[in-house]
Structure 1
């Protein structure tokens, strides 16, 4: 018979279908040591639907419409015809059918939202017989492809049996947790298939094999130890930091598991956790270290700290900083893409194969909750990794049970070590579901209380009278004059702008340098403002900083005084970590907590609103008690979590939540029976696509937009990078995309709508979905503004 082909490029080169299937299977199998047979089985069948005449004609036609020939379902049909009697055989079959049929886009809902049909109904004989599939023709051509279906399936079933045994042994015996983990396993195998498929396509189009970034942990450990050995450890605080770092070093020989690192603010948590991660990765042969931060400010500073301590240049492939959707692209491939486009897309959709990845909680959660191949592509590279979650108290309450299930699966099934870091450890393991499977003796530092006492450098001072922003500005100015500087942290961006403007009026004589920080600024802008602020603080010049909560965790600065708008006790304590951080004053300095009058806007920020109410209650119920104590923090978390157990499942409405959608999904099972009068007879019922569409770490956050930020009139860095992106070759474009992350701002729905109405946003690259904000709508003081001319109290 004529040769069967998988793809061609514009230069006339062709790849045989045999080579593509076997290459993809090999890659999928080699990614990780475990569950390789199942990944290979999915990969060897994923494109068997190309073994038919209409696809071969489509491939070589000049005017064929992309995606017009269906070729993903046929491999799933083949799997569905394998006799399956045992529970493990049926489950293996369902996993493979889902992943193979969906590899060009999204994992589907197992049961249609209407309840009228299920995905598995499509495996029926009647469906296979539809003309659009040409399945009989594919079956006749399969022997030429040497797929070895039965033997591969049998080996896959053995892996499913191992998976089920491991789930039960690890503690996933509750039905909901068990089904949730099975859904994660579907995504994991899907990730290996999608990445292998697109990687082989990229290798073909570029005529070279993309090399993986293999970690040399010993070299990185040696660099770390050499540089940290040069740190000054003579001051009392630095001695404590050194002890904490040494404790993390000594804990590195623990087995893979889920651990906690409770370090008081200013205790050197970032480098201590990296020390643990590096030594643990070396001793347990982990593939990656993934560092997850809640805020972009922390991500930027963490990346710089890591590069400095590891002697890494900014362009080093050892460390990947990934936090912006500017780098995302949809790269579904049907064999018709020209080589350069495939290669650009494959490289731009980060695979997370670098030894060290620094990212955000938004990126992490929206990856593991996604159903889309482009986002899930990197999921398998989380396996066998050390994953450090910094400032874990910042996790949204509605995502807690989802987070707990995911990290438990990553640890117990995919051999990850999870480290949960915070000065204020939330009670994640005390939820009603009890689904965070902590290791035995989970604390890396057993006697952290002694460090909390030794590192106490502040007093929390609640102010009994509420203040409006005018009065708050007066209060901040008074404290700044008393102390030489002051940091004011508020809950809302609009409050930060107004408070800054009031302070400008009070500071007409220029006595203080004024700095404003918010997420309306791009990362480069915030980084420059932080540099300026640190320089002023180090030279003991008068300065007032007004910021939203982005500054209260992971930012290594020290003010003589902090004023914090009333918020959750965890936020208040994090804010206190920016005051007298290095013990500059032997006497404890004051952190003033002030309630703001008529704080409009908190209705949409439930976590902040509730936290503020609980802290107010603690202040009233325990007058004079030290709010920094563990007892107060534990009481705060008990009040904070106790009434919100149902909320932790990420509710969509009164009858739906994402947790159950991604586990047993009894609601849709029952609705299927009601609509079809048939019992839903399959093990997997997860609503992958609906859950993905409904899940947002930050609700109503639409997209990232590039902003034309320049430090001064001589700063051309942004325009130079953008010009390089638009004119450069593939390698230059990818490098430029990474640099452009620093010039992106995440905008909400209403902001996009208002700016679009003003024609302030233009698309500059439709393929990558990159948009640019008009320079009139980006201000040096505030970042993105919604009007070109701001009123004196622009909100």
Structure 2
């Protein structure tokens, strides 16, 4: 039913009385229109609140960015457009007017933020071109717009306060603009969303002391017997003790199997409690399986699954909003943008791709989470996997986040890269004593936690897939890690032919061609894995042979007695060794502990991923020629030598810093890609994902409510696979993908294209698939 207020406001507007009413947005599901005055006040207040808790010196800029972001909506032409009395176009674009006012008054941050709050951050030259474009007639139109604004609000000041720390430092200025843009965009999204949905999105507050106690209770409930558990408990306690230190940069250098996952979180929660921080962000390599850690954190810290822990690893493209003329109802922005993640939860588990590219993005959907990184603890798990070609920009931003936005960092790995300052390579690297080591007696720790022997191939010694499959079939439990998905496919297929018929179900494959839910189903839960899964078979002495790409290496908790690792980067070899005899349970015939066996081999088809991976492998070959390979199991200092060499031979900037100095936000976003080849996500019809797809597609349409939202995205990301553009286009040509919903740029893979063992297989399918 239409409210009296609606009829009165509509009558007032349509009768063109002396006091016109201005709207920000069209009618919601109760047919109430959104008053422009209310929207501007709400966005200004919310953006200012974000600044107050994250960087108080930004409050003035955040408030005025919010108050003026829709200044152009005071134009009659926009109001006519909103009432569907005219089409959209140049005359109805509104962001340019607030941006022009800020630009004229030298308000650095608000000018960029307002101009880009629909279309994303502009480059400096593009911003100047926009606000000076004669087709907008800014000088002629601004006086009336300002007059209308000031009748509903206060007068607009000539000067506002912006942070002094940006003066004379273009990189700090650039990042300040990003944070301000994030505050404005998130405030705008949330207030607009609350208008259309009728509810204000809530957020759970981090309760670090309570969550830390849950973690401590979890540790207390585990077995305390044995040397390994004693060492893990010592590391856990050292993390608690070190958390009292002032905010800064910390390293957690612990051999694989030393309990870094829980100990690192213990440090973060205790540190957050000590310094009143707002969230913990765990960043895991993009080739890793992040759902294992997320599931463990959720089980311990969020047992009722109320949203304390969220995982974010989807990568859905959102169309650019260049002309501000999207359909007005039910949302003026694209529904993908309202489903975008803004990290408003206490604990975020995300990928390197999401975290890093968000730091340098220009798009609204990618940037809106940035301000929620402030006042947090960021844990980089397997930090050695940070992209080498972006190290200098990243280290610069890390310093900026620490210095001005209250962020502490934990660099966690068994193969610590150190990131030491080098004038000719890592110019943004850390100075001596800038990074504090959390653990004590690290050398002794590596000796105590040694559990494997490592052997390497002789010069020119190669191993064929046929020979490797025979060797693996001769072992009841074995893991092989290869460098390419194609290699994993070939070895898996040969191994399936080699093992007895009754053990074919015990041959497994893992790669990024499988969605997260599929990989977790194959692995099995960490705590109580189901029969038939990898973890269940390993723990119950059943046959289990696994062929995997590198994604198994970074933090995945599996324990094989023997591991083959294709020749690759030094850190990858050591990470692979962490999947061997992980729990130190191997015994000889007399019941005495014995080492597991890690065999580094050179494949007959020794093709490698291009770029840094290939360079790192060549450095590894040279280093191993001068080093006893078995020292990799105990000498963690080898990695300082290795990474120092690597950083001298590979790019570590990609031109990003130079473009940041010029305030070229769009150019930076193009250059700062973690994976340099573009990928696109598709939803796959696997397991419960099929039910989610069907439920969304058959969901009744409710006026004023989106058919797709952030909660849908959070559920669906577990059923997504990232494809290279060439593979995506191939599937598109074959009509093997189609949109989840009309006008929604999220694609779904058709039935029949997802293999139950291998995931998405486009060109090669196992021969047995075609046998009747």
Counterpart-to-counterpart distance in 2, 1:64 and 1:428? 55
Task: Name the CA shift for 1:291/1:140 in 2 (closer, same or farther; >3 Å).
Answer: same
Equivalent pair of 2:48/2:62 in contact (CA under 8 Å): yes
Counterpart-to-counterpart distance in 1, 2:47 and 2:179? 11
Moved over 6 A (4+): 327-336, 340-343
The equivalent position to 1:617 in structure 2, one of 618, 622, 641, is: 622
Q: Which residue of 2 aligns with 1:202?
A: 193
**Structure-to-structure mapping, 1:247-396, within 5 angstroms:** 247-295=238-286, 297-314=288-305, 316-326=306-316, 337-339=328-330, 347-396=338-387
Equivalent pair of 2:239/2:264 in contact (CA under 8 Å): yes
Q: Which residue of 2 aligns with 1:70?
A: 93
Q: Which residue of 2 aligns with 1:698?
A: 675
- Aligned-residue offset at 1:345: 5.1
Counterpart-to-counterpart distance in 2, 1:708 and 1:269? 34
Q: Which residue of 2 aligns with 1:516?
A: 509
**Structure-to-structure mapping, 1:118-133, within 5 angstroms:** 119-120=127-128, 122-124=130-132, 127=134, 130=137
Q: Which residue of 2 aligns with 1:709?
A: 686
Deviations 1:343-379 (A, max 9, x none): 9656411111111111100111121111111110111
Deviations 1:625-672 (A, max 9, x none): 62332343222222212222xx1012xxxxxx2221112xxxxxxxxx
SS of equivalent to 1:97: helix
Task: Name the CA shift for 1:627/1:233 in 2 (closer, same or farther; >3 Å).
Answer: same
Equivalent pair of 2:96/2:130 in contact (CA under 8 Å): no
Q: Which residue of 1 aligns with 2:528?
A: none
Equivalent pair of 1:484/1:560 in contact (CA under 8 Å): no
Q: Which residue of 2 aligns with 1:496?
A: 488
- Aligned-residue offset at 1:123: 4.5
- Aligned-residue offset at 1:181: 2.3
Q: Which residue of 2 aligns with 1:723?
A: 694
Q: Which residue of 2 aligns with 1:597?
A: 604
Counterpart-to-counterpart distance in 1, 2:516 and 2:675? 18
Task: Name the CA shift for 1:630/1:222 in 2 (closer, same or farther; >3 Å).
Answer: closer
Equivalent pair of 2:384/2:415 in contact (CA under 8 Å): yes
The equivalent position to 1:106 in structure 2, one of 88, 102, 120, is: 120
1:557 paired to 2:562: no
SS of equivalent to 1:282: helix
- Aligned-residue offset at 1:787: 3.2
Q: Which residue of 2 aligns with 1:545?
A: 546
Q: Which residue of 2 aligns with 1:627?
A: 632
1:51 paired to 2:74: yes
Counterpart-to-counterpart distance in 1, 2:712 and 2:150? 46
Q: Which residue of 1 aligns with 2:529?
A: none
SS of equivalent to 1:445: coil
Deviations 1:381-400 (A, max 9, x none): 11111111110111121111
1:2 paired to 2:2: no
SS of equivalent to 2:112: helix
Q: Which residue of 1 aligns with 2:652?
A: 648
- Aligned-residue offset at 1:81: 3.9
Counterpart-to-counterpart distance in 2, 1:19 and 1:231? 54
**Structure-to-structure mapping, 1:437-476, within 5 angstroms:** 437=430, 440=434, 442-464=436-458, 466=460, 471-475=464-468
Task: Name the CA shift for 1:55/1:328 in 2 (closer, same or farther; >3 Å).
Answer: closer
Deviations 1:170-198 (A, max 9, x none): xxxxx8xx322221111100111111112
Task: Name the CA shift for 1:22/1:494 in 2 (closer, same or farther; >3 Å).
Answer: same
1:639 paired to 2:645: yes
Task: Name the CA shift for 1:36/1:309 in 2 (closer, same or farther; >3 Å).
Answer: same
Question: TM-score, normalised on structure 1?
Answer: 0.85
Counterpart-to-counterpart distance in 1, 2:440 and 2:427? 22
Task: Name the CA shift for 1:487/1:133 in 2 (closer, same or farther; >3 Å).
Answer: farther
Counterpart-to-counterpart distance in 2, 1:298 and 1:59? 46
Equivalent pair of 1:8/1:335 in contact (CA under 8 Å): no
Q: Which residue of 1 aligns with 2:583?
A: 582
SS of equivalent to 2:604: coil
Question: TM-score, normalised on structure 2?
Answer: 0.88
- Aligned-residue offset at 1:599: 2.0
Counterpart-to-counterpart distance in 1, 2:574 and 2:629? 16
Equivalent pair of 1:240/1:267 in contact (CA under 8 Å): yes
Equivalent pair of 1:707/1:744 in contact (CA under 8 Å): yes
Counterpart-to-counterpart distance in 1, 2:675 and 2:434? 33
Equivalent pair of 1:326/1:741 in contact (CA under 8 Å): no
**Structure-to-structure mapping, 1:142-161, within 5 angstroms:** 142-150=149-157, 153-154=159-160, 156-157=161-162, 160-161=163-164
Task: Name the CA shift for 1:312/1:706 in 2 (closer, same or farther; >3 Å).
Answer: same
Task: Name the CA shift for 1:649/1:639 in 2 (closer, same or farther; >3 Å).
Answer: same
Q: Which residue of 1 aligns with 2:752?
A: 776
Counterpart-to-counterpart distance in 2, 1:436 and 1:738? 35
* Coordinate RMSD, CA, aligned: 2.7
- Aligned-residue offset at 1:728: 3.3
Bigger Cα displacement from structure 2, 193-202 vs 204-213: 204-213
Deviations 1:699-754 (A, max 9, x none): 223210111124xxxxxx22211122223375985433322111111000221122
- Aligned-residue offset at 1:596: 1.6
Q: Which residue of 2 aligns with 1:570?
A: 571
The equivalent position to 1:229 in structure 2, one of 171, 195, 220, is: 220
Task: Name the CA shift for 1:345/1:288 in 2 (closer, same or farther; >3 Å).
Answer: same
SS of equivalent to 2:405: coil
SS of equivalent to 2:196: helix
What stretches of structure 1 of length at least 5 have no aligned partner? 83-89, 113-118, 165-174, 651-656, 664-684, 711-716
Counterpart-to-counterpart distance in 2, 1:496 and 1:244? 36
- Aligned-residue offset at 1:341: 7.5
Counterpart-to-counterpart distance in 1, 2:555 and 2:260? 9
Equivalent pair of 2:421/2:430 in contact (CA under 8 Å): no
Counterpart-to-counterpart distance in 1, 2:34 and 2:384? 50
- Aligned-residue offset at 1:503: 1.3
Counterpart-to-counterpart distance in 2, 1:331 and 1:229? 52
